[in-house]
Amino acid sequence: MGRYHIWTIGCQYNVADSRRTAEGLERLGYRWTKQIEEADLIVLNTCVVRQSAEDKVLGRLSSLKPLKKKHPEAVIAVMGCFIDDVPALKQTFPYVDAFFKPSDVEGLLEFVQTRHPTLRFTFHVLRFTFPVSCYVPVIEGCSRFCTYCIVRLRRGRERSRPMDDIVEEVECLVQRGAREITLLGQNVDAYGHDLPGQPDLADLLTAVHGIEGLWRIRFLTSHPADMKERIIDAVASLPKVCEHIEVPVQSGDDAVLKRMVRGYTVDQYRRLVARIRERIPRVSLATDVIVGFPGETEEQFMNTCKLLEETRFDVVHVAAYSPRPGTAASRFPDDVPQGEKERRRKLIEELQEDIAGEINQQLLGETVEVLVEEKHRGKWKGRTRTHKLVFFEDDGDWQGKLAQVKITWAGPWSMQGELD
Ligand code: SAM
Ligand code: SF4
Protein backbone atom coordinates (compact mmCIF):
# COMPACT_ATOMS: atom_id res chain seq x y z
CA MET A 1 0.00 0.00 0.00
CA GLY A 2 1.06 3.59 -0.60
CA ARG A 3 2.60 5.92 1.92
CA TYR A 4 1.61 9.55 2.35
CA HIS A 5 3.19 12.62 3.84
CA ILE A 6 1.30 15.82 4.65
CA TRP A 7 3.05 19.14 5.23
CA THR A 8 0.85 21.77 6.87
CA ILE A 9 1.34 25.46 7.48
CA GLY A 10 -1.10 28.16 8.57
CA CYS A 11 -4.27 28.40 10.59
CA GLN A 12 -6.27 25.82 12.56
CA TYR A 13 -8.49 25.40 9.50
CA ASN A 14 -5.54 23.90 7.64
CA VAL A 15 -4.74 21.66 10.61
CA ALA A 16 -8.35 20.41 10.54
CA ASP A 17 -8.24 19.86 6.75
CA SER A 18 -4.98 17.93 7.02
CA ARG A 19 -6.46 15.73 9.74
CA ARG A 20 -9.46 14.95 7.53
CA THR A 21 -7.19 14.30 4.55
CA ALA A 22 -5.07 11.92 6.64
CA GLU A 23 -8.17 10.08 7.86
CA GLY A 24 -9.47 9.71 4.30
CA LEU A 25 -6.13 8.46 3.02
CA GLU A 26 -5.87 5.94 5.86
CA ARG A 27 -9.33 4.66 4.95
CA LEU A 28 -8.08 4.20 1.40
CA GLY A 29 -5.28 2.06 2.78
CA TYR A 30 -2.47 4.62 2.73
CA ARG A 31 -0.04 4.76 5.64
CA TRP A 32 1.67 7.86 7.01
CA THR A 33 5.41 8.37 6.69
CA LYS A 34 7.54 11.00 8.37
CA GLN A 35 10.08 10.81 5.53
CA ILE A 36 8.91 12.91 2.60
CA GLU A 37 11.41 11.10 0.29
CA GLU A 38 9.67 7.78 1.03
CA ALA A 39 6.15 9.03 0.28
CA ASP A 40 4.14 7.92 -2.76
CA LEU A 41 1.77 10.82 -2.15
CA ILE A 42 2.92 14.21 -0.89
CA VAL A 43 0.32 16.78 0.17
CA LEU A 44 1.27 20.39 0.87
CA ASN A 45 -1.45 22.27 2.76
CA THR A 46 -0.57 25.91 2.26
CA CYS A 47 -1.04 29.43 3.69
CA VAL A 48 -0.46 32.86 2.17
CA VAL A 49 -1.80 35.10 4.96
CA ARG A 50 1.56 36.91 5.01
CA GLN A 51 4.48 36.98 2.58
CA SER A 52 6.59 35.02 5.11
CA ALA A 53 4.11 32.09 4.96
CA GLU A 54 4.01 32.24 1.16
CA ASP A 55 7.84 32.20 1.06
CA LYS A 56 7.85 29.02 3.14
CA VAL A 57 5.37 27.43 0.70
CA LEU A 58 7.53 28.46 -2.27
CA GLY A 59 10.60 27.02 -0.53
CA ARG A 60 8.81 23.71 0.08
CA LEU A 61 7.56 23.59 -3.48
CA SER A 62 11.00 24.17 -5.00
CA SER A 63 12.50 21.50 -2.73
CA LEU A 64 10.08 19.01 -4.28
CA LYS A 65 11.32 19.59 -7.84
CA PRO A 66 14.51 17.46 -7.49
CA LEU A 67 12.53 14.88 -5.49
CA LYS A 68 10.01 14.51 -8.30
CA LYS A 69 12.89 14.13 -10.79
CA LYS A 70 14.35 11.33 -8.69
CA HIS A 71 10.96 9.67 -8.02
CA PRO A 72 8.70 10.60 -10.97
CA GLU A 73 6.07 8.13 -9.70
CA ALA A 74 5.56 10.15 -6.47
CA VAL A 75 2.34 12.15 -6.63
CA ILE A 76 2.42 15.76 -5.44
CA ALA A 77 -0.82 17.53 -4.47
CA VAL A 78 -1.02 21.12 -3.27
CA MET A 79 -4.05 22.53 -1.46
CA GLY A 80 -4.93 25.55 0.69
CA CYS A 81 -4.88 29.32 0.34
CA PHE A 82 -1.88 29.29 -2.05
CA ILE A 83 -4.25 28.08 -4.75
CA ASP A 84 -5.64 30.87 -6.88
CA ASP A 85 -5.21 30.72 -10.64
CA VAL A 86 -4.78 26.97 -11.28
CA PRO A 87 -3.71 27.17 -14.99
CA ALA A 88 -0.99 29.69 -14.05
CA LEU A 89 0.15 27.49 -11.16
CA LYS A 90 0.30 24.46 -13.47
CA GLN A 91 2.64 26.39 -15.76
CA THR A 92 4.90 27.57 -12.94
CA PHE A 93 5.00 24.22 -11.13
CA PRO A 94 4.70 21.55 -13.86
CA TYR A 95 5.99 18.88 -11.46
CA VAL A 96 2.91 19.26 -9.23
CA ASP A 97 0.24 16.68 -10.16
CA ALA A 98 -2.84 18.48 -8.82
CA PHE A 99 -4.01 21.64 -7.07
CA PHE A 100 -7.03 21.88 -4.74
CA LYS A 101 -8.82 24.88 -3.29
CA PRO A 102 -8.70 25.38 0.50
CA SER A 103 -10.62 22.65 2.36
CA ASP A 104 -11.29 20.63 -0.81
CA VAL A 105 -10.47 17.38 0.97
CA GLU A 106 -13.15 15.48 -1.00
CA GLY A 107 -11.59 16.66 -4.29
CA LEU A 108 -8.18 15.46 -3.21
CA LEU A 109 -9.47 12.05 -2.11
CA GLU A 110 -11.43 11.65 -5.37
CA PHE A 111 -8.29 12.48 -7.33
CA VAL A 112 -6.33 9.82 -5.43
CA GLN A 113 -9.07 7.25 -6.15
CA THR A 114 -9.19 8.17 -9.84
CA ARG A 115 -5.46 7.57 -10.14
CA HIS A 116 -5.82 4.21 -8.38
CA PRO A 117 -9.31 2.94 -9.29
CA THR A 118 -8.81 -0.23 -7.27
CA LEU A 119 -8.68 1.76 -4.03
CA ARG A 120 -11.84 1.47 -1.95
CA PHE A 121 -12.81 3.12 1.31
CA THR A 122 -12.45 0.63 4.13
CA PHE A 123 -14.24 1.01 7.40
CA HIS A 124 -12.28 -1.60 9.32
CA VAL A 125 -10.12 -0.61 12.26
CA LEU A 126 -8.44 2.68 11.59
CA ARG A 127 -4.77 2.74 12.65
CA PHE A 128 -4.90 6.49 12.68
CA THR A 129 -4.99 7.87 16.23
CA PHE A 130 -7.24 10.82 16.88
CA PRO A 131 -5.96 13.73 18.92
CA VAL A 132 -7.51 14.31 22.36
CA SER A 133 -8.31 17.80 21.14
CA CYS A 134 -9.74 18.12 17.60
CA TYR A 135 -10.65 21.02 15.35
CA VAL A 136 -14.06 20.94 13.68
CA PRO A 137 -14.74 23.44 10.87
CA VAL A 138 -18.29 24.79 11.15
CA ILE A 139 -18.32 27.76 8.80
CA GLU A 140 -16.14 27.98 5.73
CA GLY A 141 -15.04 31.27 4.12
CA CYS A 142 -15.67 34.81 5.28
CA SER A 143 -18.02 37.57 4.14
CA ARG A 144 -16.29 40.47 5.85
CA PHE A 145 -14.12 42.95 3.99
CA CYS A 146 -11.04 43.57 6.12
CA THR A 147 -8.83 45.44 3.70
CA TYR A 148 -5.58 43.60 4.56
CA CYS A 149 -6.98 40.07 4.35
CA ILE A 150 -6.40 37.59 1.53
CA VAL A 151 -8.13 34.71 3.33
CA ARG A 152 -11.62 35.77 2.33
CA LEU A 153 -10.47 36.06 -1.30
CA ARG A 154 -9.07 32.53 -1.32
CA ARG A 155 -11.73 30.83 0.81
CA GLY A 156 -14.79 32.54 -0.62
CA ARG A 157 -17.97 33.75 1.07
CA GLU A 158 -19.37 32.25 4.25
CA ARG A 159 -20.98 28.80 4.07
CA SER A 160 -22.18 27.23 7.32
CA ARG A 161 -22.34 23.47 7.76
CA PRO A 162 -25.72 22.13 8.85
CA MET A 163 -25.89 21.62 12.61
CA ASP A 164 -26.75 17.88 12.31
CA ASP A 165 -23.64 17.32 10.25
CA ILE A 166 -21.42 18.94 12.83
CA VAL A 167 -23.04 17.09 15.74
CA GLU A 168 -22.55 13.81 13.88
CA GLU A 169 -18.88 14.55 13.24
CA VAL A 170 -18.28 15.50 16.88
CA GLU A 171 -20.01 12.29 18.04
CA CYS A 172 -17.68 10.27 15.78
CA LEU A 173 -14.61 12.10 17.05
CA VAL A 174 -15.66 11.50 20.66
CA GLN A 175 -16.20 7.79 19.94
CA ARG A 176 -12.61 7.68 18.71
CA GLY A 177 -11.12 9.33 21.78
CA ALA A 178 -11.46 13.08 21.31
CA ARG A 179 -12.43 14.82 24.56
CA GLU A 180 -12.21 18.43 23.48
CA ILE A 181 -13.32 20.05 20.27
CA THR A 182 -12.78 23.51 18.88
CA LEU A 183 -15.45 24.77 16.50
CA LEU A 184 -13.72 26.68 13.73
CA GLY A 185 -14.59 29.55 11.47
CA GLN A 186 -12.71 32.55 10.10
CA ASN A 187 -15.62 34.39 11.72
CA VAL A 188 -17.21 31.69 13.85
CA ASP A 189 -19.69 34.16 15.37
CA ALA A 190 -21.37 34.41 11.96
CA TYR A 191 -22.29 30.70 12.10
CA GLY A 192 -25.75 29.79 10.85
CA HIS A 193 -27.09 33.00 9.30
CA ASP A 194 -27.09 31.31 5.86
CA LEU A 195 -28.87 28.14 7.06
CA PRO A 196 -32.63 27.49 7.05
CA GLY A 197 -34.12 28.69 10.34
CA GLN A 198 -30.93 30.69 10.99
CA PRO A 199 -29.52 28.91 14.02
CA ASP A 200 -26.59 30.74 15.61
CA LEU A 201 -23.38 29.78 17.36
CA ALA A 202 -25.22 29.69 20.72
CA ASP A 203 -27.61 27.06 19.29
CA LEU A 204 -24.68 25.06 17.93
CA LEU A 205 -22.81 25.20 21.27
CA THR A 206 -25.96 23.97 23.01
CA ALA A 207 -26.42 21.10 20.54
CA VAL A 208 -22.80 19.95 20.82
CA HIS A 209 -22.92 20.35 24.60
CA GLY A 210 -25.37 17.44 24.78
CA ILE A 211 -22.84 14.92 23.44
CA GLU A 212 -21.89 12.40 26.07
CA GLY A 213 -18.16 11.78 26.51
CA LEU A 214 -17.25 15.24 25.28
CA TRP A 215 -15.69 17.23 28.11
CA ARG A 216 -14.66 20.54 26.67
CA ILE A 217 -15.85 22.83 23.87
CA ARG A 218 -14.01 25.80 22.41
CA PHE A 219 -14.62 28.00 19.40
CA LEU A 220 -12.61 30.44 17.31
CA THR A 221 -12.19 33.00 15.82
CA SER A 222 -14.72 35.56 17.06
CA HIS A 223 -15.32 38.88 15.39
CA PRO A 224 -15.89 41.86 17.73
CA ALA A 225 -18.81 43.15 15.66
CA ASP A 226 -20.55 39.76 15.54
CA MET A 227 -20.03 38.55 19.09
CA LYS A 228 -23.62 38.85 20.21
CA GLU A 229 -25.01 38.62 23.74
CA ARG A 230 -26.41 35.14 23.08
CA ILE A 231 -22.93 33.79 22.39
CA ILE A 232 -21.50 35.31 25.58
CA ASP A 233 -24.47 33.89 27.51
CA ALA A 234 -23.88 30.43 26.04
CA VAL A 235 -20.25 30.47 27.20
CA ALA A 236 -21.35 31.68 30.63
CA SER A 237 -24.09 29.09 31.07
CA LEU A 238 -22.84 25.90 29.35
CA PRO A 239 -20.37 24.15 31.69
CA LYS A 240 -18.48 22.33 28.91
CA VAL A 241 -17.77 25.54 27.01
CA CYS A 242 -14.36 26.77 28.19
CA GLU A 243 -13.71 30.27 29.54
CA HIS A 244 -11.46 31.29 26.69
CA ILE A 245 -12.31 33.69 23.90
CA GLU A 246 -10.20 34.67 20.89
CA VAL A 247 -11.42 38.00 19.65
CA PRO A 248 -8.92 39.86 17.42
CA VAL A 249 -8.83 43.63 17.82
CA GLN A 250 -6.10 44.24 15.16
CA SER A 251 -5.52 47.86 16.22
CA GLY A 252 -6.21 50.14 19.17
CA ASP A 253 -6.76 53.18 16.99
CA ASP A 254 -10.07 54.20 15.43
CA ALA A 255 -8.58 55.68 12.25
CA VAL A 256 -6.57 52.50 11.58
CA LEU A 257 -9.59 50.29 12.34
CA LYS A 258 -11.57 52.33 9.84
CA ARG A 259 -8.93 51.87 7.12
CA MET A 260 -8.92 48.16 7.94
CA VAL A 261 -12.76 48.18 7.58
CA ARG A 262 -13.11 46.19 10.78
CA GLY A 263 -16.59 47.47 11.58
CA TYR A 264 -16.12 48.60 15.21
CA THR A 265 -14.43 51.34 17.22
CA VAL A 266 -11.94 50.94 20.05
CA ASP A 267 -14.63 52.00 22.51
CA GLN A 268 -17.07 49.39 21.22
CA TYR A 269 -14.32 46.80 21.60
CA ARG A 270 -13.64 47.98 25.19
CA ARG A 271 -17.34 47.62 26.01
CA LEU A 272 -17.41 44.12 24.52
CA VAL A 273 -14.47 43.06 26.71
CA ALA A 274 -16.17 44.56 29.77
CA ARG A 275 -19.38 42.61 29.00
CA ILE A 276 -17.46 39.37 28.49
CA ARG A 277 -15.57 39.82 31.76
CA GLU A 278 -18.72 40.68 33.63
CA ARG A 279 -20.59 37.59 32.39
CA ILE A 280 -17.68 35.09 32.44
CA PRO A 281 -15.55 35.45 35.55
CA ARG A 282 -11.86 34.53 35.10
CA VAL A 283 -12.26 34.31 31.34
CA SER A 284 -8.98 34.29 29.41
CA LEU A 285 -8.84 36.51 26.37
CA ALA A 286 -6.66 36.25 23.30
CA THR A 287 -6.34 38.79 20.51
CA ASP A 288 -4.51 39.45 17.23
CA VAL A 289 -2.77 42.69 16.33
CA ILE A 290 -1.29 43.94 13.07
CA VAL A 291 1.44 46.58 13.36
CA GLY A 292 2.69 48.83 10.55
CA PHE A 293 -0.60 48.91 8.65
CA PRO A 294 -0.41 51.53 5.85
CA GLY A 295 -0.39 55.02 7.35
CA GLU A 296 -0.02 53.83 10.97
CA THR A 297 1.70 56.69 12.83
CA GLU A 298 3.72 56.34 16.02
CA GLU A 299 0.78 57.81 17.93
CA GLN A 300 -1.67 55.31 16.42
CA PHE A 301 0.71 52.48 17.27
CA MET A 302 0.97 53.79 20.85
CA ASN A 303 -2.84 53.69 21.04
CA THR A 304 -2.63 49.95 20.37
CA CYS A 305 -0.01 49.57 23.12
CA LYS A 306 -2.29 51.51 25.49
CA LEU A 307 -5.23 49.25 24.72
CA LEU A 308 -3.11 46.15 25.36
CA GLU A 309 -1.81 47.57 28.66
CA GLU A 310 -5.31 48.47 29.77
CA THR A 311 -7.06 45.26 28.63
CA ARG A 312 -4.30 42.86 29.77
CA PHE A 313 -4.99 40.00 27.37
CA ASP A 314 -3.77 36.53 28.25
CA VAL A 315 -2.39 36.07 24.72
CA VAL A 316 -1.58 38.51 21.91
CA HIS A 317 -0.62 37.26 18.43
CA VAL A 318 1.20 40.13 16.79
CA ALA A 319 2.09 40.33 13.10
CA ALA A 320 3.85 42.94 10.97
CA TYR A 321 1.60 44.08 8.14
CA SER A 322 2.33 42.31 4.88
CA PRO A 323 0.67 43.55 1.65
CA ARG A 324 -1.27 40.76 -0.04
CA PRO A 325 -2.14 40.69 -3.74
CA GLY A 326 -5.73 41.50 -4.62
CA THR A 327 -6.61 43.03 -1.24
CA ALA A 328 -7.84 46.62 -0.95
CA ALA A 329 -4.93 47.54 1.35
CA SER A 330 -2.39 46.39 -1.26
CA ARG A 331 -3.33 49.56 -3.14
CA PHE A 332 -2.51 51.76 -0.10
CA PRO A 333 1.12 52.96 0.08
CA ASP A 334 3.00 50.46 2.31
CA ASP A 335 4.71 53.39 4.01
CA VAL A 336 5.89 52.00 7.35
CA PRO A 337 9.47 50.78 6.72
CA GLN A 338 10.16 47.09 7.41
CA GLY A 339 12.62 47.93 10.22
CA GLU A 340 9.98 50.09 11.91
CA LYS A 341 7.33 47.35 11.59
CA GLU A 342 9.77 44.94 13.27
CA ARG A 343 10.48 47.44 16.06
CA ARG A 344 6.75 47.82 16.74
CA ARG A 345 6.22 44.07 16.62
CA LYS A 346 9.04 43.47 19.13
CA LEU A 347 7.76 46.22 21.44
CA ILE A 348 4.35 44.57 21.63
CA GLU A 349 5.90 41.16 22.14
CA GLU A 350 7.95 42.49 25.07
CA LEU A 351 4.98 44.32 26.55
CA GLN A 352 2.83 41.20 26.28
CA GLU A 353 5.54 38.96 27.72
CA ASP A 354 5.44 41.03 30.92
CA ILE A 355 1.63 41.10 31.05
CA ALA A 356 1.20 37.36 30.38
CA GLY A 357 3.94 36.55 32.92
CA GLU A 358 2.15 38.61 35.59
CA ILE A 359 -1.26 37.07 34.79
CA ASN A 360 0.13 33.52 34.93
CA GLN A 361 2.05 34.19 38.18
CA GLN A 362 -1.33 34.63 39.85
CA LEU A 363 -1.92 30.91 39.34
CA LEU A 364 1.13 29.90 41.43
CA GLY A 365 0.03 27.51 44.17
CA GLU A 366 -3.42 27.06 42.60
CA THR A 367 -4.73 23.71 41.44
CA VAL A 368 -6.00 23.71 37.87
CA GLU A 369 -7.76 21.11 35.73
CA VAL A 370 -5.55 20.01 32.83
CA LEU A 371 -6.73 17.96 29.85
CA VAL A 372 -3.63 15.97 28.95
CA GLU A 373 -2.88 15.80 25.23
CA GLU A 374 0.44 13.98 24.94
CA LYS A 375 3.88 13.33 26.38
CA HIS A 376 6.45 15.90 25.30
CA ARG A 377 10.16 15.51 26.14
CA GLY A 378 9.42 13.26 29.10
CA LYS A 379 6.66 15.46 30.53
CA TRP A 380 2.90 15.34 30.23
CA LYS A 381 1.54 18.29 28.30
CA GLY A 382 -1.99 19.65 28.44
CA ARG A 383 -4.13 22.73 28.72
CA THR A 384 -6.26 24.38 31.35
CA ARG A 385 -9.85 25.34 30.51
CA THR A 386 -8.46 28.83 29.92
CA HIS A 387 -6.14 27.35 27.24
CA LYS A 388 -2.92 27.74 29.23
CA LEU A 389 -0.18 25.23 28.55
CA VAL A 390 0.82 23.13 31.58
CA PHE A 391 3.57 20.50 31.91
CA PHE A 392 3.96 17.96 34.71
CA GLU A 393 5.89 14.77 35.35
CA ASP A 394 4.38 11.45 36.33
CA ASP A 395 4.96 7.77 35.52
CA GLY A 396 1.25 7.04 35.00
CA ASP A 397 -0.59 7.15 31.66
CA TRP A 398 -2.37 10.51 31.53
CA GLN A 399 -3.05 10.76 27.79
CA GLY A 400 -6.65 11.88 27.25
CA LYS A 401 -7.33 12.24 30.98
CA LEU A 402 -8.15 15.17 33.22
CA ALA A 403 -5.44 15.86 35.80
CA GLN A 404 -5.59 18.16 38.80
CA VAL A 405 -2.26 19.98 38.73
CA LYS A 406 -0.85 22.36 41.34
CA ILE A 407 1.10 25.14 39.61
CA THR A 408 4.69 25.42 40.88
CA TRP A 409 6.22 27.60 38.15
CA ALA A 410 4.58 30.10 35.81
CA GLY A 411 6.12 31.82 32.79
CA PRO A 412 4.47 33.94 30.10
CA TRP A 413 3.95 31.07 27.63
CA SER A 414 3.59 27.98 29.82
CA MET A 415 3.44 26.67 33.36
CA GLN A 416 4.81 23.68 35.28
CA GLY A 417 3.18 21.86 38.10
CA GLU A 418 2.75 18.64 40.04
CA LEU A 419 -0.20 16.31 40.48
CA ASP A 420 -2.36 17.41 43.38
N1 SAM B 1 -10.79 36.00 11.04
C2 SAM B 1 -9.85 36.43 11.98
C3 SAM B 1 -10.03 37.90 12.26
O4 SAM B 1 -11.04 38.46 12.03
O5 SAM B 1 -9.08 38.52 12.75
C6 SAM B 1 -8.43 36.06 11.64
C7 SAM B 1 -8.11 35.61 10.28
S8 SAM B 1 -6.46 35.81 9.72
C9 SAM B 1 -6.30 34.31 8.86
C10 SAM B 1 -5.41 35.52 11.08
C11 SAM B 1 -4.57 36.70 11.47
O12 SAM B 1 -3.59 36.97 10.50
C13 SAM B 1 -5.33 38.00 11.57
O14 SAM B 1 -5.95 38.13 12.81
C15 SAM B 1 -4.29 39.06 11.37
O16 SAM B 1 -3.77 39.51 12.58
C17 SAM B 1 -3.24 38.33 10.55
N18 SAM B 1 -3.21 38.86 9.19
C19 SAM B 1 -4.13 38.71 8.23
N20 SAM B 1 -3.77 39.38 7.12
C21 SAM B 1 -2.57 39.95 7.39
C22 SAM B 1 -1.69 40.77 6.64
N23 SAM B 1 -1.96 41.13 5.40
N24 SAM B 1 -0.55 41.18 7.24
C25 SAM B 1 -0.27 40.83 8.50
N26 SAM B 1 -1.06 40.05 9.25
C27 SAM B 1 -2.21 39.63 8.71
FE1 SF4 C 1 -10.05 38.06 7.02
FE2 SF4 C 1 -11.49 39.91 8.31
FE3 SF4 C 1 -12.66 37.65 7.47
FE4 SF4 C 1 -10.94 37.59 9.50
S5 SF4 C 1 -12.94 38.67 9.47
S6 SF4 C 1 -10.98 36.17 7.74
S7 SF4 C 1 -9.45 39.11 8.93
S8 SF4 C 1 -11.81 39.25 6.16
Q: Of the ligands numbered here, which is closest to the C-alpha atom of 141? A: 2
Task: Give the pLDDT of residue 116.
Answer: 75
Ligand 2 centroid to 334 CA: how many Å? 20
Q: Of the ligands numbered here, which is closest to the C-alpha atom of 144? A: 2
Which residue is closest in CA terms to ligand 2's atom 6?
A: 186
Task: Give the pLDDT of residue 96.
Answer: 97
Pocket of ligand 1 (CB under 6 A): 11, 49-50, 148-149, 151, 186-187, 221, 223, 248, 250, 288, 290, 319, 321-322, 324
Which residue numbers in the chain have pLDDT < 50? none
Task: Give the pLDDT of residue 124.
Answer: 52
Q: Of the ligands numbered here, which is closest to the C-alpha atom of 13? A: 1
Task: Give the pLDDT of residue 181.
Answer: 97
Q: Which atom of ligand 1 is nearest to the CA of 324?
A: 23
Task: Give the pLDDT of residue 130.
Answer: 79
Ligand 2 centroid to 99 CA: how many Å? 24
Which residue is closest in CA terms to ligand 2's atom 2?
A: 146
Task: Give the pLDDT of residue 71.
Answer: 92
Contacts of 172 (CB under 8 A, 6+ apart): none
